[in-house]
């Protein structure tokens, strides 16, 4: 038995929590960029691009994140590219985020009325101008609540990075628990810390959604 | 560095992959059945008049939805064993899955129940239907029909998440993959094969849910849309 839970253990968990936030931010930023690309491909006029991105999304959404993580971490290691755990986890989460965000944003872009595209075409805007100046500002409003909601998903998913040895909150909790063996306490605290990160985001997402619905009701 | 793929050496492990995949399916089916029951009860509890019960159900849903599944697994599995309750790993893994999917199901079912117009319930009351009759015929069946796609989508996600139970050494597909790669030293190939298997499982599950939905919701089959 390794003694009792002290302030040092808590500090260690909080440091892990910081890395959870860093990894989430990294994954979300990289994933947004890639996801934007996926969204562009999914709504492209070229059929081949649409098909490629469709298969990509189906495959990523049809395999567990844990397996993607193993493929990136062990796989690339075997091929000779040695990735540090932060990068391996970041890359796998980026792949995961890109598929989901791409799909969420595609839905938002497609929910902008068809007539907006036609009006922009009537004004002789190029496709890119139409997208940036007409469609995206409208789609962004619709996209905010589900994107914030997805952020919760990303935060939770970073716990899987513990499996490849990256010391974020879950890994830190495992380390502490291995020395103390008080799982209810240690994982309970880790759970509370995760909850403290995720719950405000969930609430925010829900209130954004409510506001959006109010706007729509008034417009109708 | 040059790397030559060698999938042939994985052939002898084929029965094990299959066993793992079947176990993943088995765990998913059990978890979804019990998860659906818990989810429905919880959604009813949140609508009910008893404040403490509604608060309890709400807290359960929020806690599960805002913490990672892996933490829930560790909390339940290691927590129970430190309290002296040593469950077999399969049971423990399924228990965590039920606990997890129950909350997501509750949220989805609740959203479905919210779409039932209050007038429908009032009409049912005026016709003298009993409370269980109202819940079953007027609220539950139509709302389940409406949320069926998101519900089954959640179940497919649960099947994928079940890979995480390999962390408490459940011998499902990912657990099998871990032991195969350490025996064969072909980790890249192993995980590619397993990714493919998960993909096939996900597609099969989607197809099965689609056919099942067509069978139990005749209206959806005839009209192509719910209600």
- Does residue A2 belong to any structural domain of this protein? no
> Domains of chain B (ranges plus CATH)?
8-223 (1.10.3720.10)
- Asked if B161 and B69 touch (Cβ cutoff 8 Å), the reply is yes
Instruction: Look at residue B226 in the predicted model and tell me its pLDDT.
Output: 58
Contact of A78 with chain B, judged by CB distance below 8 Å, is answered with: yes
Angle at B106 between CA A163 and CA A67, to 5 degrees: 20
B192: closest CA of chain A, how far (Å): 7
Distances (CA, A) of A197 to A97, A208, B14: 18, 18, 42
Residues 6+ away with beta carbon under 8 Å from A218: none
Testing the interface with B: which of A27, A66, A148 to mutate, by most B Cβ within 10 A?
A66
B202 with A183: Cβ contact below 8 A: no
Q: Compute the distance between CA of residue A24 and CA of residue A30 in angstroms, rounded to an integer.
A: 10
Judge residue A194's burial from the number of C-beta atoms within 10 Å of its C-beta, 0-12 exposed, 13-18 middle, 19 or more buried: buried
Partners of residue B188 in chain A, C-beta under 8 Å: 71, 74-75, 78-79
Residue B133 contacts residue B124 (beta carbons within 8 Å): yes
Compute the distance between CA of residue A63 and CA of residue A86 in angstroms, rounded to an integer: 21
Judged on CB neighbours under 10 Å (0-12, 13-18, 19+), A145 is buried
pLDDT for the residue A217:
55
Predicted TM-score of the model (pTM)? 0.89
CA quadruple B158, B163, B169, B170: dihedral positive or negative?
positive
Section B59-73 average pLDDT: 96
Give the residue from A99, A32, A43, A111 showing the smallest Cα distance to A68: A99
Measure in Å the smallest separation between the Cα of A2 and chain B Cα atoms: 14
In a domain, A195, yes or no: yes
Which of B7, B68, B86 has the most A C-beta neighbours within 10 Å, making it the best mutation to test the interface with A? B68
Does residue A1 lie in a domain region? no
How many residues are there in chain B?
227
Residues of A in contact with B24 (CB under 8 A): none
Four-residue CA torsion sign, A105, B156, A196, A15: negative
Q: From the CB of residue B149, how many other CB atoms can be counted at a distance below 10 Å?
A: 14
Q: Which domain holds residue A129?
A: 7-219
Distance (Å, whole) CA A88 – CA A160: 12
Could you say which of A183, A190, A199 has the minimum Cβ distance to residue B66?
Answer: A199
Instruction: Answer whether residue A193 is part of any domain.
Output: yes
Residue A207 forms part of a structural domain: yes
Average pLDDT, chain B: 91
pLDDT digits (tens, 9 = 90+) for B43-57: 999 988 899 999 999
Which helix H or strand E contains A187, and what residues bound it? helix A183-219
Domain assignment of residue A118, yes or no: yes
Note whether residue A183 is domain-resident. yes
**Which residues of chain A fall short of a pLDDT of 70?**
1-2, 215-220
Nearest-CA distance A217 → chain B (Å): 16
**SS3 of A165, please?**
coil
Tens digit of each residue's pLDDT (9 = 90 or more) over B167-225: 998 999 999 999 998 888 888 889 999 999 999 999 999 999 999 998 888 776 666 66
- CA dihedral (A208, A211, A212, A214) in degrees, to 10, reads 160
Of all helices (H) and strands (E), which one includes residue A138? Answer: helix A136-157
Instruction: Say if the Cβ atoms of B195 and A188 lie within 8 Å.
Output: no
Instruction: Say yes or no to pLDDT of B128 above 50.
Output: yes
Alpha-carbon gap, residue A8 to A16, rounded angstroms: 12
Instruction: Write the CATH number for A151.
Output: 1.10.3720.10
Give the rounded distance of the alpha carbon of B20 from its chain centre.
17
pLDDT tens digits for B33-46?
A: 999 999 999 999 99
Q: What pLDDT does A219 receive?
A: 45
Structure tokens at A29: 């930023």
- According to the model, what pLDDT value does residue B197 have? 96
Alpha-helical regions (H) of chain B? 14-47, 51-65, 69-82, 89-114, 118-126, 131-133, 141-161, 173-184, 187-216, 218-223
A63 domain residue, yes or no: yes
Contact A195 B66 (CB under 8 A): yes
Give the total number of structural domains in chain A. Answer: 1
């Amino acid at each position: 038995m390794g003694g009792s839970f002290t302030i040092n253990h808590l500090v260690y968990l909080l440091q892990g929590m910081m890395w959870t936030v860093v990894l989430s931010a990294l994954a979300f930023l990289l994933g947004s960029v890639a996801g934007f690309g996926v969204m562009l491909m999914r709504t492209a006029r070229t059929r081949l691009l649409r098909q490629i991105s469709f298969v990509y999304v189906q495959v990523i959404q049809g395999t567990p994140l844990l397996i993607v993580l193993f493929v990136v971490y062990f796989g690339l290691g075997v091929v000779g590219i040695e990735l540090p755990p932060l990068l391996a986890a970041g890359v796998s989460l980026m792949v995961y985020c890109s598929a989901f965000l791409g799909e969420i944003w595609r839905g938002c872009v497609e929910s902008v009325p068809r007539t907006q595209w036609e009006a922009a075409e009537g004004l002789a805007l190029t496709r890119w101008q139409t997208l940036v100046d007409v469609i995206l500002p409208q789609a962004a409003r619709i996209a905010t609540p589900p994107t914030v909601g997805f952020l919760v998903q990303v935060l939770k998913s970073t716990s899987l990075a513990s499996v490849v040895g990256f010391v974020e909150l879950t890994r830190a909790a495992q380390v502490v628990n291995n020395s103390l063996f008080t799982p209810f306490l240690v994982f309970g605290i880790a759970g509370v810390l995760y909850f403290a990160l995720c719950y405000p985001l969930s609430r925010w997402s829900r209130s954004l959604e409510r506001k959006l619905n109010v706007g729509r009701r008034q417009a109708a | 560095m040059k790397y030559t793929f060698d999938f042939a050496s994985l052939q002898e492990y084929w029965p094990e992959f299959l066993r793992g995949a079947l176990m993943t399916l088995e765990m998913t089916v059990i978890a979804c059945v019990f998860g659906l029951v818990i989810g429905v009860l919880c959604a009813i509890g949140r609508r009910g008049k008893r404040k403490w019960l509604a608060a309890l159900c709400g807290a359960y849903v929020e806690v599960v939805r805002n913490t990672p599944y892996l933490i829930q697994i560790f909390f339940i599995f290691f927590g129970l064993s430190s309290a002296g309750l040593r469950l077999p790993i399969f049971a423990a893994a399924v228990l965590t899955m039920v606990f997890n999917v129950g909350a997501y199901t509750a949220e989805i079912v609740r959203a479905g129940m919210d779409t039932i117009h209050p007038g429908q319930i009032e009409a049912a009351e005026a016709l003298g239907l009993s409370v269980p009759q109202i819940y079953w015929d007027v609220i539950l069946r139509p709302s389940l029909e409406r949320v069926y796609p998101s519900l089954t989508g959640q179940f497919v996600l649960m099947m994928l998440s079940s890979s995480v139970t390999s962390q408490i050494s459940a011998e499902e597909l990912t657990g099998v993959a871990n032991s195969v790669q350490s025996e064969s030293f072909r980790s890249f190939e192993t995980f590619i094969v397993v990714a493919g298997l998960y993909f096939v499982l996900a597609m099969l599950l989607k197809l099965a849910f689609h056919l099942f939905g067509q069978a139990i919701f005749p209206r959806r089959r005839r009209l192509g849309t719910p209600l």
